[in-house]
Chain A
Amino acid sequence: MGRCWWTLALALSACHSDAAFDRATFVDARCHDAFWLWSGVRSQRVLDTARRVYVLYGEVRSDPVRLIARRPAPTGPGHAGIWLVVRAETLDWTPLVHGQLLDALVRWRRSGARVAGVQIDFDARTRHLDQYAVFLTDLRRRLPPDTGLSVTGLLDWSSQGEPAALAALGGTVDEVVLQLYQGRDVIPGHEAWLARLDRMRVPFRLGLPQGGRWTPPADLARNPFYRGTVVFLLNDAPAAPTVAACASE
């Protein structure tokens, strides 16, 4: 009897730990089709078959407000939709900065890249979402009509964003990419944040770090606003298994 109990306990504990491990999914770039390509990050083969690549073009810094170029235009034709990303430290853009962005958009398209739109990466505190919406409405007006507008977002937004402010974004941006990471680590406890995704009323994607582990919410695919993942490519991501084991979802 004692031995039975011991075996059962062992089996149960093994079961429990396996279940916990399986729930965490390894972010293998080969299982995704949209990526961020940041400054200093080397090219990876997955880029050749990507559907979307968000390429960091430059940063808008303050004191003085200026755009700092980070990557040249992708050259030559390719089938991926390119998004030109600008990381902004401030929303106080000068006319010169706006001009530089629009000029870059033209040049990138001229270099052969299929530029689908512009993405703004700005850390908008949830309580300033309304100010951010004003900026984005203005930016949208300046962009050529066939240009999408995407923004990166913080997990804060899905759980604490004022509904009116989030809705204001919805009229202006085509998508929000919520970042589930800080630096190169998946934010611990992201599950609790994802639990509140039902508040999102804007099309959204989930941003993940290459080589991270995350727990996809069970019914993510049922969320009518969910559009897929975007993987942040890293130079030294943890090695993926030799053969990609992509989950069906």
Chain B
Amino acid sequence: MGGRGGGGRAARALGPCVAAAVGLAWAAPALASGDYGCAPRLTLIHRGLDQCNNLAILSPGNDTRTNLLLLRPGRWRSGTPGPLIGQASMTPVPGFSWSDLARWTTGLAPDIGTVRFPAEDGSRCRSDGSGAAAFVAALASDPRVGAEDRVWLSAARTSLRPTCDGDAPAAVGRAVQGTGRAGEFATYLTGAAAFYAGAFDQAAAAFAKLGQSANPWLAETATYMLGRVEVNRAQVGLYDRWGWRDPERPVDRGVLDAAEAGLRRYLAAYPTGRYAGSARGLFRRVYWLGGDTARLSAALADALQAAPAGDTELLEEIDDKLLANAAHTAVADPRLLAALDLGAMRRAQSDGSDDATATSLSRAQLEGQRDRFGGDTELFDLLRANHAFYVGLRPAEVLTLIPDATRPTSFSDRQFSRQVLRGLALDATDDRNARGFWLEMLPGAAAGLQRLTLELALALHEERHDGLGRVFAPGSPIANATLRDTLLAYVAGPDLLRHEARGGGREGRVALHALLHKELTRGRYAGFLSDLALLPAGATGADGIAQFIGEGEPPLDLYRSGATAEDFACPALTATASTLARDPGAVTARLCLGEFIRLNDLDGHLLDTPPPADELGGTAPRFGRRLFSRGDAYAAIVAAGGASPDDIAYALLRATRCYAPSGYNTCGGTEVDKDQRRRWFERLHREFAGSRWASESRYYW
């Protein structure tokens, strides 16, 4: 993702064997290092969690935080522009990661922190900066504090700079005493220093003296701090060396109750006070520390209702602190419950494990939740339909649960989710109205992710219903370059590719590259030679690794100026192709084709490693013919005999080198065991001892 502005994700062309990206799982909320190697999976059906390919519809495959965002109140109104609906060209594919979404979401400007305290650093000392500023401001506005006292008190407070690194408490300065109002500020200062140093008894004692102060800032802040002190006290000793909450250590209920009482006292006295939001957050921490899921769930539901649209931190808190471990019975709020349910519908991952959210949800359990959704049958039926589709594998049931409503002028997230699921069910049941259904949705889809989702749905349908021609016809609604390039690269046959190549433009060049590569490597030599004429005059190269699915230029100059020979003498590529066109069994020419492939790193090429069958581009290619494999060619040449000694010797050398240096075959074709490689090696040195190739062969692998 680095290097691309605007947050778009390049469709990353991974190399051999990695193109078939596995479904990802992660232990909530850990994000495994390496997940930035996200490859788009061009499918709308994710039965398991797919971190890299969240969709703009509610789905079990989405990150829970994405689902929470789609479930937010306020996103249900049609036409409400929101983070997802508003994205016009932010992304080239309909799938995205939670990181992407969090970045796109507008609203609150994310905190960038300070040198000592980066964003989301949870240290208690984090509030020192703003606390000091507020203290100084309160001093300045209190006429009962003399100038001299104001100066030393301000200086003492701002110089505290606690680090919470286990250092000794900072000295407060001159003896903290004084009379009157200045004395009260001095007492507060003692409390703050003690709080940051972790001396909670001392801190509480100081703040307790100030609840009745005539200075409103002192009174309110001290009242709040009494609660905050107890919350911090409750966490002492709970974390191990690595910062993990040690499950062996039970939390002190007495301290938790005191914390709750303190926070409650504050909110009772100051229901809309300056620390009210913070106090509510601290309540949630108390519930979490005490394992009180029911009250935590209710508090988070309230917060979700009130929070602004861009508050992704709250969604992170809900996912991390509640949904990661909650039982369904403990969550009453319909939106939180829906997110939890969707997570529970995920299929377990291939290694048998599953992320913590997925307590498998039976149909009966889901049906039993009806009351908790109240009158919101739209949401409840959407969940039932998701369950039928993803868990029950009964797509027909989706059609009875979700009636057709494809023609609004715009879709809310909920409506879009419902209709897309219905469309997927139509395709899954081979309904002959599926194509028309997708087409009808298009006018109402918002530009960006909704549009892309529908284009992918239609492209998947056309690929599987003999509709490639329609995809590339003029006026085709499928405009997205990644989708079109994928079909050209993996499934289009020679006629379609040639037609597209003649159309020119970047897409024409992609088509030409696919055409020439496949003709050359699948035995269509005559076609290759004649289609070379389609190469544009200033044939473009690629800058390093060729990635051209969706964007970028295919390496067409490969066919004009790609390397054809190293030590083994080979003519130009056209000569080799001409020979093979006349005589596909010609030995030297086959070796030279192998050289071209080897020298230009075409083994296991992108174009020869199609996506899985259920993704776009995963159906059988319309090209036919077997892929030329160097490995098989060398073995065949060696076994057949009848070729020139130089050719056989070279074939023996290359055959053994296929397995260098680690014993894995990099030449494609049938894998051959080590004994056979040894025999090749021995034969090279026995029968062709004087040859150049024997002298270059020191090892076999």
| A contacts, CB < 8 Å to B | 36-43, 47, 55-56, 58, 61-76, 78, 85, 87-91, 94, 96, 99-100, 103-104, 107, 110-111, 121-128, 131, 152, 154-156, 159-160, 162, 179, 181-185, 187-198, 207, 209, 211-212, 217-220, 232, 234-238
Contact = CB atoms under 8 A, between A and B. Distances in A.
B31 A38 contact: yes
Interface in B1-53: 1-3, 7, 10, 12, 14-18, 20-37, 51
Nearest to B609: A189
A182 B37 CA distance: 7
A183 B25 contact: yes
5 contacts: A69-B120, A110-B165, A123-B37, A219-B661, A236-B353
A238 to B, nearest CB: 5
A110 B122 CA distance: 18
Contacts of B241: 43, 74-76, 78
Which of B33, B114, B115, B117 has its CB near the most chain A CB atoms (within 10 A)? B33
Contact of A217 (B2, B10, B355, B663): B663
Given A40-B28, A43-B242, A160-B545, A125 B12 contact: yes
A137 to B, nearest CB: 16
Contacts, number: 246
B166 A179 contact: no
B543 interface: yes
B351 A185 contact: yes
Interface residues of B, number: 77
Contacts of B240: 43
B356 interface: yes
A154 B37 contact: yes
Contacts of A131: 3
Given A40-B28, A194-B662, A88 B115 contact: no
A158 to B, nearest CB: 11
Contact of A236 (B37, B320, B355): B355
B110 interface: yes
B641 interface: no
Interface of B: 1-3, 7, 10, 12, 14-18, 20-37, 51, 99, 103, 109-123, 163, 165-166, 239-244, 246, 320, 349-356, 543-545, 601, 604, 660-664, 666
Given A40-B27, A160-B545, A185-B350, 8 more contacts: A40-B29, A76-B241, A89-B99, A154-B34, A155-B18, A181-B34, A183-B26, A195-B660
B604 A192 contact: yes
A83 to B, nearest CB: 12
B349 A159 contact: no
A168 B467 CA distance: 49
A162 to B, nearest CB: 6
Contact of B30 (A61, A78, A121, A234): A234
A172 to B, nearest CB: 17
A124 B3 CA distance: 9
A107 B26 contact: no
A224 to B, nearest CB: 12
Given A185-B351, A192-B664, A156 B112 contact: no
A64 B350 CA distance: 37
Contacts of B352: 238
A238 B353 contact: yes
The 9 A-B residue pairs with the shortest CB-CB distance, nearest first, are: A189-B17, A183-B24, A127-B544, A123-B36, A235-B27, A217-B662, A40-B30, A69-B121, A195-B664
A217 B112 contact: no
Nearest to A194: B662
Contacts of B166: 75, 111
Contacts of A85: 33
Given A62-B103, A64-B109, A126-B545, A56 B33 contact: yes
Contacts of B111: 66
A149 B121 CA distance: 23
Contact of B18 (A183, A187, A218, A236): A187
Which of B2, B115, B120 has its CB near the most chain A CB atoms (within 10 A)? B2
Contact of B34 (A63, A192, A207): A207
Contacts of B243: 71-75
A46 to B, nearest CB: 12
Contacts of B99: 61, 89
B27 A209 contact: no
A12 B556 CA distance: 48
